[in-house]
Amino acid sequence: MKQLKTRVTKVGIIWLCFTALMLVGCGQSNSSSKTGVLQPLDGRYEVNRNTPAWQLDSKEETTLTWYVNADWWNTDWGNDVVTKKIKQDLKLDVKFITGDDTKLNTYFAGEDLPDIITIFNSSSQVAQSANQWAYALSDLADQYDPYFYQTAKKDTLDWFQLSDGKTYGYPDFSNSQEDYDKGYIDAATAFVIRKDIYEALARPSMGTQEEFLSVLSAIKDKYSDIIPFGFNEMSNSVGSLGEDFQNFIGVPIVNEDSTWYDRNMDEDYLSWIKTFNNAYQQGLISDDSFSDDGTAYEEKIKTGQFATIMLGGTPQRSGALQIWMNSHPDSAYIAIDGPQSTKGHAPTLAQSGLSGWAVNYVTRDCKDPVKAIQLFTYLLSDEAGILTNFGVEGETYKFNEEGKIELLPEIRTLKETDNDRFKKEIRLGEFCLFGHDRYHRLGSESIPSTEQLKEWGRGKLKTQFIIENIEPDQGTAEARSLSAVNTNWVTTLVAMIRSQDDNTFKQLLKDYQTFREKNHWKAIVNIRNEKMNRNREKLDSTIEQ
């Protein structure tokens, strides 16, 4: 799920979150001033460490408000297969509220918070101050539902501990080392080529920079209406030519002394950027690739206009890839080894790590924290993982002879022919706030266009826990400087690839380095190193780099 996890970093939002923290810290009359003392169960049920509390609870009806800090979240409850089952099992109604950081800030400035809050930045000031406005999950579990510890992952709980040693938020898609080792996580990056072109050129190697340019040139000569090389949209980011490509050629993430490694300035990486520049100068990269938005980029994939693509976020591109594959099965995009490190590094593809994406909290204003922790326990269980991804056995899926989950024919048809109705009535794969990648392996359903891409990526994934959440805290001068540096790098990288001569290429890089130095760069690096040291302490051992 790394590609779904787009972090909002706008300066205005940063300031709003910082303001929220200040209000919390200044003793305003809001939830943070509450003691958060948990009340006894008073006979509601007898806690059993080996039984989920939701199965014991005698309370017949509860309503919780759940704020999700995203306007796109589906607020419906109880009318689709997934939430109807949750409602029935937990005897729970949920009133979803959505918004943006402005609305979140308003809540913190007011008298009361919703019962549950979901945010999308675990390193934000709001998250780091959770001990002032949320219940510690261990406190809730110890008093109301110790079965929580059987569904929550210890690695994740440890990773999210605050300085007081307690954990207040629990994320979705938090992948541990075990998840990687057991093969639960699929690669989401690939270098792909149209199969018909690959075969017509006798399956050429594109590993060295000379081979790469030679093959692109041959494509241009043989297929004049095809764009030889494409990559994810760069209209406001570095697309797949940033971290995705760095991981693809195995650029290190730490120095030999285990300090933060400046990957953008890596000699191996920059030599490939110069190769892309050479490709551009030879007419092997379209100017449109630097201005196309996501829709335009995907349209080119749907119509097979790229011969090769450095593809980031393959799950999100599966639809476009499948459309092209359906109409041109012999020309489907396939993954090949593609560009390789000039230093001999193997690919180290990355996916979501321990930090996950959405982070969920039970606030001290929660009307029924008993039911809230039951909900957390329930949604973290394997049963809920199957429910949210596949639905209810006999109603939406069955087990096939191989023991894999298989959608019923009528459900699969609905998904393929009327996706809007499918989302409204069935909602599979959408209720993701406690989701996890590991459940995908249980299903027999697959998207043909990405199967070979995922197979190519097996064995190439490597965790990057040590560099998670190491950026400067929001609201600080260093955070504002880093935002400016990142924006400058986007424009610099595009200009370098499009530069017309070597001197311009070198000058652009030099100007970028000068810009960094004028914008608190040393302080930013120091903060990253400090936070990497904290990560090592959290991991309780040195990550094998």
Q: Write out pLDDT tens, residues 428-487.
A: 999 999 999 889 888 877 788 999 999 999 999 999 999 999 999 988 999 999 999 999
Predicted confidence (pLDDT) per residue in 168-220, tens digit:
999 999 999 999 999 889 999 999 999 999 999 999 999 999 999 999 999 99
In this structure, are 159 and 16 located in the same domain?
A: yes
Residue 521 lies in a domain: yes
In this structure, are 41 and 115 located in the same domain?
A: yes
Q: What's the CATH number where 92 sits? A: 3.40.190.10
Question: Structure tokens of 276?
Answer: 């892309």
∠ CA(216), CA(219), CA(221), 5° rounding?
A: 115
In this structure, are 14 and 150 located in the same domain?
A: yes
Answer with the one of 367, 399, 431 that is the final residue of a domain: 399
134: β partners? 363
Residue 187 lies in a domain: no
- Name the residue among 505, 504, 3 with its Cα closest to residue 244: 3
Separation CA 193–CA 338 (nearest Å): 9
- pLDDT confidence tier of residue 34, bands split at 50, 70 and 90: low
Residue 147 lies in a domain: yes
Residue 79 lies in a domain: yes
In this structure, are 16 and 123 located in the same domain?
A: yes
Look up the pTM and report it. Answer: 0.85
**pLDDT score at 4:** 43
| pLDDT, mean of residues 165-170 | 97
Answer with the one of 344, 372, 399 that is the final residue of a domain: 399
* 265-277 as b/e: b if 16+ CB within 10 A: ebebbeebbbbbb
Question: Structure tokens of 489?
Answer: 């790098």
> What residue type is 180 in one-letter code?
Y
Predicted confidence (pLDDT) per residue in 244-295, tens digit:
999 999 999 999 999 999 999 999 999 999 999 999 999 999 999 999 999 9
**pLDDT score at 446:** 77
The total number of structural domains that make up the chain = 2
In this structure, are 388 and 470 located in the same domain?
A: no
3-state secondary structure of 361: strand
In this structure, are 35 and 114 located in the same domain?
A: yes
Q: Name the average pLDDT for the chain.
A: 91
Distance of CA 274 to the CA centre of its chain: 29
Residue 416 lies in a domain: no
Q: Which domain holds residue 498?
A: 465-545
In this structure, are 494 and 390 located in the same domain?
A: no
Rg (CA), the chain: 25
List Cβ neighbours of 193 (8 Å cut-off, separation of 6 or more).
206, 307, 308, 309, 333, 334, 336, 338
Answer with the one of 399, 427, 457 that is the final residue of a domain: 399
In this structure, are 6 and 97 located in the same domain?
A: yes
In this structure, are 130 and 52 located in the same domain?
A: yes
Residue 135 lies in a domain: yes
Residue 71 lies in a domain: yes
Asked whether 18 and 99 are in contact (CB, 8 A), the reply is: no
* 82-98 as b/e: b if 16+ CB within 10 A: bbebbeebbebebebbb
In this structure, are 26 and 102 located in the same domain?
A: yes
Residue 18 lies in a domain: yes
| pLDDT, mean of residues 45-50 | 96
In this structure, are 487 and 390 located in the same domain?
A: no
Instruction: Please check the confidence at residue 30 and state whether its pLDDT lies above 90.
Output: no
Distance of CA 392 to the CA centre of its chain: 27
In this structure, are 110 and 22 located in the same domain?
A: yes
